[in-house]
């Protein structure tokens, strides 16, 4: 199935979109990658959805990516007498490392790592930032605070600790079980929650190895302080704007989104813009004008993909949300100003063979206007590196690995195809010509540009650029 756009769409599956018919409809409407959110649902629930995706993939003949989104650590208060309490601004409030039910003066906080990390002056945010506390005094098992912003608080609401590096792993016991389940069942991408520093990526990589690509979710402000190192260690980044917006002023989020997208584009890493993109479509068949502008803004910035969460997982109009997002992306990419902006923000090449080939590829495409670009890749490296150039044609990624083809489904401009290995250069050219023609990207007699690495089968060896004519 040929898409008429370069940026990709991720849709989260959930109660509104778990049956095979709906998954097929979402795919046909424009979904390239399906997200399985392990903050909700059982392993059986996710396995049923994954089975339907793989069935659809086989029937459609198009590789479909699956993103496993790990829950990550969840820091929560304990319970309150009567289920809730009213905190008033200016009053004292104590947090204690115990399980005794709380009231308007105190609450249990069963997380010793928080007491270890905070100090006088630290802020704690309760219930997605609706209530703010400032620490005045602390010990190993308590924190005396003053209520800066009050309100009603109820059982097990979330706790955020901005500007403090918490001494906890990004992978909980639940995450490790979910990860083992996902890897056993062949997921393609792993979204790692609660990333604070680059070492969190290393910890996940030791478990995952080369069985999936890793996407770091940037939802903690401290991660921004280590942005370049995190981008360098992972395969992709998710701009988790909802979580970032809890710990940061809302007016900072657009600036950070642009900064993260630019850092990923410069490094040639996949970048996904997520959270509340078409939020009103959870309950409405049409989005707000501000939401359509938000989606369009991410595409103008050059993001690889945009993501739907509740809109497709639990909303009333999952199909309409995907269709709307697809139309917005297609409309933006037809705008001449879009191409101008992409070209103006192009990243300078580095002095490597791969950069030299892909930089030349971009120039060749601009000069001769081929029907399509074809990359031949074993690891996905050549295709990802070509996508970094944001070439002015679609990119057909030919790979002998179905797993790599599925991962590349998330990369800007890439239409991945699982093909047999080429025997030699002549065979590679013939296969590329066949793929371009059979996929509907090129007609007989039209030019295609091919990038590959020799010898075949070795990753990271992009060193060949070839112009060919599509045969009859």
H-helix or E-strand containing 190? strand 189-192
Q: Which of 8, 35, 220, 407 is catalytic?
A: 35
Q: Is 174 a catalytic residue?
A: no
Q: Which of 24, 54, 74, 76 is catalytic?
A: 76
Cis preceding-peptide flag for 369 (omega within 30 of 0): no
What residues contact residue 194 under an 8 Å CB cut-off, 6+ apart?
72, 73, 168, 170, 200, 217, 219, 220
Q: Which of 217, 362, 390, 437 is catalytic?
A: 217
258 contacts 271 by C-beta, under 8 angstroms = no
Q: Is 76 a catalytic residue?
A: yes
Q: Report the interhelical angle of 318-334 vs 289-301 (nearest 10°).
A: 50
Tokens of 84: 């809730």
Other CB atoms within 10 A of residue 410 CB: 25
Tokens of 331: 């409309």
Phi, psi of 108 (to 5 degrees): -75, 140
115 contacts 164 by C-beta, under 8 angstroms = no
Short-list 248, 158, 188, CA closest to 68: 188
Question: Dihedral angle at the C-alpha atoms of 298, 1, 467, 349, nearest 10 degrees?
Answer: 20
398 contacts 376 by C-beta, under 8 angstroms = yes
Residue 42 C-beta-side C-alpha neighbours within 13 Å: 3
DSSP 290-353: HHHHHHHHHHHHT-SEEEESHHHHTSS-HHHHHHHHHHHHHHHHHSHHHHHHHHHTPPPPPSSH
Other CB atoms within 10 A of residue 229 CB: 14
Q: Is 138 a catalytic residue?
A: no
65 contacts 34 by C-beta, under 8 angstroms = yes
Q: Which of 145, 275, 382, 461 is catalytic?
A: 275
Q: Is 51 a catalytic residue?
A: no
Tokens of 397: 């990624």
Phi, psi of 113 (to 5 degrees): -65, -30
Q: Give the active site residues.
A: 35, 76, 217, 275
């Amino acid at each position: 199935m040929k898409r008429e756009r370069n940026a990709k769409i991720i849709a989260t599956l959930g109660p509104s979109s778990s049956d095979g018919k709906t998954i097929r409809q979402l795919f046909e409407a424009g979904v390239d990658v399906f997200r399985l959110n392990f903050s909700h649902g059982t392993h059986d629930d996710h396995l049923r959805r994954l089975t339907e995706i793989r069935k659809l993939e086989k029937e459609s003949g198009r590789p479909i990516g699956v993103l496993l989104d790990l829950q990550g650590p969840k820091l929560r208060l304990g319970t309150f007498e009567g289920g809730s309490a009213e905190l008033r601004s200016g009053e004292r409030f104590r947090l204690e490392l115990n399980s005794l039910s709380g009231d308007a003066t105190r609450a249990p906080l069963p997380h010793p790592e928080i007491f270890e990390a905070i100090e006088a002056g630290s802020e704690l945010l309760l219930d997605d930032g609706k209530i703010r506390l400032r620490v005045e005094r602390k010990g190993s098992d308590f924190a005396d605070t003053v209520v800066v912003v009050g309100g009603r608080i109820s059982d097990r609401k979330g706790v955020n600790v901005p500007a403090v590096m918490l001494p906890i792993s990004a992978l909980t016991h639940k995450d490790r079980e979910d990860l083992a389940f996902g890897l056993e069942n062949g997921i393609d991408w792993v979204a790692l929650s609660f990333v604070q520093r680059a070492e969190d990526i290393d910890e996940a990589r030791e478990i995952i190895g080369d069985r999936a690509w890793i996407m770091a979710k940037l939802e903690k402000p401290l991660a921004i302080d280590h942005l370049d190192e995190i981008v360098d260690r992972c395969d992709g980044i998710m701009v988790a704007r909802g979580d970032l917006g809890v710990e940061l002023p809302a007016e900072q989020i657009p600036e950070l989104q642009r900064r993260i997208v630019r850092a990923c584009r410069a490094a040639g890493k996949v970048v996904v813009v997520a959270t509340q993109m078409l939020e009103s479509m959870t309950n409405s068949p049409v989005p707000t004008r501000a939401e359509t502008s938000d989606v369009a803004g991410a595409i103008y910035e050059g993001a690889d993909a945009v993501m739907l969460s509740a809109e497709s997982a639990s909303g009333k109009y999952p199909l309409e949300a995907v269709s709307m997002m697809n139309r917005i992306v297609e409309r933006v990419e037809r705008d001449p100003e879009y191409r101008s902006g992409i070209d103006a923000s192009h990243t300078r090449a580095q002095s490597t063979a791969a950069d030299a080939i892909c930089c030349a590829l971009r120039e060749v495409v601009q000069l001769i206007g081929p029907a399509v670009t074809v990359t031949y890749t074993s690891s996905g490296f050549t295709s990802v590196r070509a996508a970094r150039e944001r070439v002015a044609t679609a990119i057909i990624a030919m790979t002998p690995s179905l797993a790599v083809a599925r991962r590349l489904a998330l990369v800007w401009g890439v239409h991945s195809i699982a093909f047999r290995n080429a025997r030699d250069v002549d065979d590679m050219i013939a296969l590329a010509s066949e793929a371009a023609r059979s996929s509907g990207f090129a007609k007989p007699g039209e030019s295609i540009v091919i990038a590959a690495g020799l010898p075949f089968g070795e990753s990271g060896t992009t060193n060949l650029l070839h112009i060919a004519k599509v045969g009859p």
